[in-house]
Structure 1
Amino acid sequence: MILHFVERVLQTILVLLVISFVAFMLISTLGDPLGVLLPPDATIAERNALIARLNLDQPLLQRFWSFVMGILQGDFGLSYRTQQDVGAMIAERLPATVELAFVSLLITIVLAIPAGILCGVKPKTLVSRAIMLVSIAGITLPNFVIGILLIAVFSVHLGWFPSFGRGTVVELGNWTTGLLTVSGWQAIILPAFTLASFQMTFVIRMLRTQLMEVGHSEHIRFARARGLSETRVWFVYAIRNALLPTVTMLGLQLGNIIAFSVVTESVFAWPGLGSLFLQSVQSADIPVIAIYLIFVGAVYMLINLAVELSYPLIDPRLKRRSA
């Protein structure tokens, strides 16, 4: 088990180094930082100081090493568009994206898991058929269409929720949150549900498929032959076997929520990392784009690592196999 943990951590570090190198080459080969960051009347001393600040006077591999060490120390470089520290820009937008991802995942867990269990345990009921019919819309309709429909119904027609912005936020040290105010919760409901709609569809359909498959397995038949109740058969034996792929899906979907919230944040004018990335693409702000790619890669790898390491906790048989 320990060797497996060490192996997975080393693989994660290696992949993050590869992602960092790709981002570094993106910064090094695209754009002219001196032409963008220096004013037209800049002196030679200012030019040399910026060259030293950006490590442009070093060999390529040494610059990459300085780039990696700078990231580890919190130095993410300068934005071409605003000439601000990229780390400060990321830190300013991060709370909004994290809260949106958290609420979206919470909606997915609360709604999709019970719906998936119902559809798997009783697939022929009218409610299960209705859930599966509605879930088709979650697959076929793009996020921006769902977002626009929600705005039209709940913001324009009913006036229940705001159509843009984050609402009133509260500062907790260096962190800002809207989850402590009523307007913050009102503002996050529609974008969070828009993001969750696609994830809920996958979780419902996967959990339903897994439960229906497990329900016909030998050990479930044996449990029924022993005279166990249907509730105990499904909720003690069947669901445990269906949880592993579901947990994997939830972990990957959390990464998707953070990485691909660009469209949803744009529709709702949500001040998160997705909207920052979109602005950076429109203005060719290469350093911000590169750091965003590293951040997304790190999120995916760390979530994937956490999911894999949680498998033995869900199913102890895996712990014995890896021993």
Structure 2
Amino acid sequence: MEHVAEKEVLLEIKSLKKYFPVKRDILQKLTRKNQKVVKAVDDVNFKVYKGETLALVGESGCGKSTTGRSLLRLIEPTAGNVYFEGKDIVTYSKQELKNIKKDMQIVFQDPFASLHPRMTVEEIIAEPLSIHKVGSREERRKKVEYLIEKVGLSPQMKKRYPHEFSGGQRQRIGIAKALALNPKFIICDEPVSALDVSVQAQVINLFKELQKQFSLTYLFISHDLSVVKHVSDRVGVMYLGKIVEIANTEDLFSRPAHPYTQALLSARPVIDEKNRMERIVLEGELPTPLNPPSGCRFHTRCPFKMEKCMQVEPTVKDLGTNHQVACHLHS
């Protein structure tokens, strides 16, 4: 995939935080202890350029999906700003947010759970059009048929229900629904992880084709580095609620700068033995976001940790060529 020539910022995230309060037991309430919080997303900053695919990768529980859902305010951010086309949608009212949702959509991981089981394909895809009162009934019908064909399904399938389709077909229906309002930006939240490998390739290629046809911008959330390398222009690596590295895809895969990124890449399967990295095995348990380590959050598992790493949180360093890393090794 070619990199975006002119970098027009479509979405900018500044100091985004999402903390989930932990329920206190009776003893904690009686002693009036401060309520603990899970710091799922903690001071995340990045930009998404118009027409590109930015991938977010990391281990399960690192905050990838929470970040994506916070951007759309499917869950409300605790703090921070989300600028879409220069406007902070965190401050938007419900009506303003409803209007902006035309331009921002999401494709979920589990296509079966995200589709209403008692609605036909036609009703599912037409639902956003009905909610936003777009077009007449006949225009909606034609739009539905057009989208069904665009995602590789037959218009004759429009009267069927979700349970009558395979996993890959259901995901295509979810993609068609996301496209109904002609959005500019789509969050793809682990969109192929629940599919068979052979079907994954078909759906990934569909995403790329639709991006060209509809001038789409993607935030692609995944833990599969092979998929990410194929589909993304840039990659952001998350660890325990923070982005530790972000770079152009080719640069990140050939010259990973953060020890955590190096460990992730060393674990991915490769066909060509010449491109195989020496396996880096991380020792120790993954810390909890309920009580993250001081300093660099990765220091408890890092093979290169220094005294400074345990005390001082690293700032983001610019390595040039759009490559940024938060690590004391590069200070």
- Whether TM exceeds 0.5 here: the answer is no
Using structure 1 for the length normalisation, give the TM-score.
0.22
Using structure 2 for the length normalisation, give the TM-score.
0.22
Whose RCO is larger (CA < 8 A, sep 6+)? 1
Q: Which of the pair has more CA radius of gyration?
A: 1
